[in-house]
Amino acid sequence: MSPEGGGAPPVDAAGDGRPASVADATADATGGVPAGEAPAGKAGVDTFCTQICNHEQSCAAAADASTAALSGCAASCESTDEAPAANPPTELLRTDYVQALGSCIAASSCAQALQTSEVDCAEAIASGSSDAGVPHLVPSQAVATFCTRLAASPCSADGGAQDCASTFSFYGDVTLNAATACFSDATCSAVAACYEAAFMQQ
């Protein structure tokens, strides 16, 4: 599963320094975040997988096909999207984005391949198209703050991601605030370690 724009751009880790933890920044950032802009978490991913698998089972039943092959659908989906190495880290994406994507895919045509539905729905949500069947998701202030700090950081691999806003719009505010705090670290290697941890789900 991937939001429009893909995963996080790299941060240059040139130089030596301490690895930085983002636990404190994450804890401090949780207060006051609107529910939709909070990370989806495991519960959000589980619900998403249930929507997808129910859709696939309904399509199989409608085609008079066996649903036996789908018996492990939910477990497989959850294992993939909840893995620490998932790219993007689905649990860290905005709750309202994950909900919108699941609803859009669940409403898609059975004639369309699942991967195609996911790509089309992600693009529709990103563009605010009515085809997604959900209201346009407005980027939060945390996105603007993060992108400003990324562009200004000497540790950014490309001097700042040009497509930062579209790339990071669907990450939860807690994740973005934790990543933003990374740019206060003293060395680029510390920034890189902190940044990597911020965008990795547990």
Domain boundaries, given as residue ranges, for the chain? 23-29+140-198, 38-132
Sign of the dihedral defined by the CA atoms of residues 134, 39, 201, 147, in that order: positive
DSSP state of 93: B
Beta bridge mates, 93: 171
Sign of the dihedral defined by the CA atoms of residues 192, 195, 199, 202, in that order: positive
171 within 8 A of 137, measured Cβ to Cβ: no
Q: How confident is the model at residue 27 (pLDDT cuts 50, 70, 90)?
A: very low
Tokens encoding 123: 């693009």
102 within 8 A of 108, measured Cβ to Cβ: no
Tokens encoding 97: 């984005």
Dist CA 196 CA 194 (whole Å): 6
Per-residue model confidence as pLDDT tens digits over 39-74: 999 999 999 999 999 999 999 888 877 777 788 899
Tokens encoding 7: 């995963």
Give the DSSP H or E segment for 94.
none
Is the pLDDT higher at 148 or at 36?
Answer: 148
pTM here is: 0.78
